[in-house]
Amino acid sequence: MLVAADKFKGSLTAVQVAERVTAGLREVVPGLSVEALPVADGGDGTVAAAVAAGFERREVRVTGPVGAPVTAAYALRGTTAVVEMAEASGLQLLPPGEFAALTATTYGSGELLRAALDAGATTLVFGVGGSATTDGGAGMLAALGARFLDAAGEPVGPGGAALADLASADLSGLDPRFAEVDLVLASDVDNPLTGPKGAPAVYGPQKGATPEDVATLDAALSHYALVLEKAIGPRATELAASPGAGGAGGIGYGALLLGAGFRPGIELMLEVLGFAPALERATLVITGEGSLDEQTLHGKAPAGVAAAARAAGKEVVAVCGRLALAPEALGAAGIRRAYPLSALEPDPARSIPNAGPLLERVAAQIARDFLA
């Protein structure tokens, strides 16, 4: 039995999901052999999943999204580091209900990458998602040695909106170690930097951006790419249109400028976490996340787990807080059946704080349906 589920956002971490599912299964089948492999798709929770898989957790003080210092973690095993931008620049670092759509910076994400390099990492898995930022990765690049100046020759301010004042860019001071390391951008989105499917338009509203803010940010990021084109040539605009450039408020673009290769987050994380050998040992796979919906089918963790399991001929069931997919869609994704907590407690106000006990009950039902 393999439990390979993502977090239930707002209620349970991926590690807690695995613990509760295991407890529920063993209520029905005492002593059942259960292997837990918490998974993530590159967004928030990626470092925790790596630590659960045996990586060492390392902490460092960095600049948070609004400038105040925060303690951020990355994961290290040998010379491979898993760096999660949300640890330094994530939405969860802002006070509840407060946003900084125009001014939040990714500077701390650059500091986090540098800390991983300083620790000896030669492979950097850079998970992006859950950001508070829409600065195109300019803050991250500045932390790594790039210079972004206004017409007066002064550094532009933090955040995406300030890039409207950008007059010149100089990437020659970037940390030279990036020419020698393997940097991989792990993201569950393939959006370009700007335009109707770009970072401001699609994800800006989640970060508190009004329609006017979205227009401001899109114009500023377009200008940013044009200034970079003057500095480094047509590659700058080509990368802005590339899949993944719009990930996490455009930090994907910054990573591509550093030479990163883009890969779907869950595909890469399953490799890093050692999913294939765990899958080989499994008879049944349980995956899941907080909401199984249309987004799940586009690169989220459960879809990646189910695709890999189906290719290996393994049966998959899913647990979730809320289910918004028809049985046909689940079947097409390789999931035989889904077990939502909402079937036991339809009121989210009660379901979310009691997700743990509800998940144990759901897992017990899975055991009765598939194992008893």
Residue type, 180: E
| Token pair 């290290």: residue | 76
- Whether 169 shows a pLDDT value over 90: the answer reads yes
Mean pLDDT confidence for 106-124: 98
- Residue 159's pLDDT band (boundaries 50, 70, 90)? very high
- Whether 104 shows a pLDDT value over 90: the answer reads yes
Quote the number of domains for the chain.
2
Angle, helix 355-370 to helix 14-28, in steps of 10 degrees: 50
- Whether 372 shows a pLDDT value over 90: the answer reads no
- Whether 43 shows a pLDDT value over 90: the answer reads no
Kindly report the number of other CB atoms within 10 A of residue 17's CB atom. 30
How far apart CA 357 and CA 363 sit, in angstroms, is 10
Mean pLDDT confidence for 296-308: 92
How far apart CA 282 and CA 287 sit, in angstroms, is 13
Is there a single domain that holds both residue 61 and residue 206?
yes
- Residue 6's pLDDT band (boundaries 50, 70, 90)? very high
Domain that holds residue 57: 46-266
CA angle (337 as vertex; 331, 340 as ends), nearest 5: 125
Residue-averaged pLDDT of the chain? 96
What are the CB-based long-range contacts (under 8 Å, 24+) for 196-199?
A: 197/246, 198/246, 198/250, 199/134, 199/136, 199/245, 199/246, 199/247, 199/248, 199/249, 199/250
For residue 355, CA distances in Å to 296, 316, 336, 350 come to: 20, 21, 22, 8
Angle, helix 301-311 to helix 265-273, in steps of 10 degrees: 60
How far apart CA 361 and CA 342 sit, in angstroms, is 12
- Residue 121's pLDDT band (boundaries 50, 70, 90)? very high
Is there a single domain that holds both residue 14 and residue 55?
no
Q: What is the pLDDT of residue 5?
A: 97
> Which domain CATH number covers 343?
3.40.50.10350
Mean pLDDT confidence for 101-122: 98
Kindly report the number of other CB atoms within 10 A of residue 112's CB atom. 28
Mean pLDDT confidence for 123-129: 96
> Which domain CATH number covers 114?
3.90.1510.10
Is there a single domain that holds both residue 177 and residue 261?
yes
Is there a single domain that holds both residue 337 and residue 293?
yes
Q: What is the pLDDT of residue 10?
A: 87
Q: Considering the chain, what percentage of its residues have pLDDT values greater than 90?
A: 94
Residue 271 lies in a domain: no
Provide DSSP, 120-178. Answer: T-SEEEEE--SBS--STTHHHHHHTT-EEE-TTSPBPPSSSGGGGG--EEE-TTS-GGG
Strand order in the sheet with 337-340: 35-36, 2-3, 284-292, 315-323, 337-340
Is there a single domain that holds both residue 242 and residue 353?
no
For residue 40, CA distances in Å to 12, 94, 243, 302, 359 come to: 13, 22, 20, 9, 19
CA angle (223 as vertex; 220, 228 as ends), nearest 5: 125
| Token pair 């907080």: residue | 290
- Residue 252's pLDDT band (boundaries 50, 70, 90)? very high
Is there a single domain that holds both residue 30 and residue 52?
no
Q: What is the pLDDT of residue 235?
A: 97
Residue 286 lies in a domain: yes
Mean pLDDT confidence for 132-158: 98
Looking at the chain, list the stretches that DSSP marks H as alpha helix, in order from N- to C-terminal side: 14-28, 46-52, 85-89, 107-118, 138-143, 199-203, 211-232, 235-240, 247-257, 265-273, 275-281, 301-311, 327-333, 348-351, 355-370
Q: For residue range 202-212, what is the model confidence (pLDDT) as tens digits?
A: 999 999 999 99
| Token pair 């046909």: residue | 328
Is there a single domain that holds both residue 93 and residue 136?
yes
Is there a single domain that holds both residue 33 and residue 50?
no
- Whether 97 shows a pLDDT value over 90: the answer reads no
Is there a single domain that holds both residue 320 and residue 338?
yes
Is there a single domain that holds both residue 119 and residue 166?
yes
Q: What is the pLDDT of residue 320?
A: 97
Overall residue count recorded for the chain in this entry = 372
Residue 27 lies in a domain: yes
60: helix, coil or strand? strand
- Residue 42's pLDDT band (boundaries 50, 70, 90)? confident
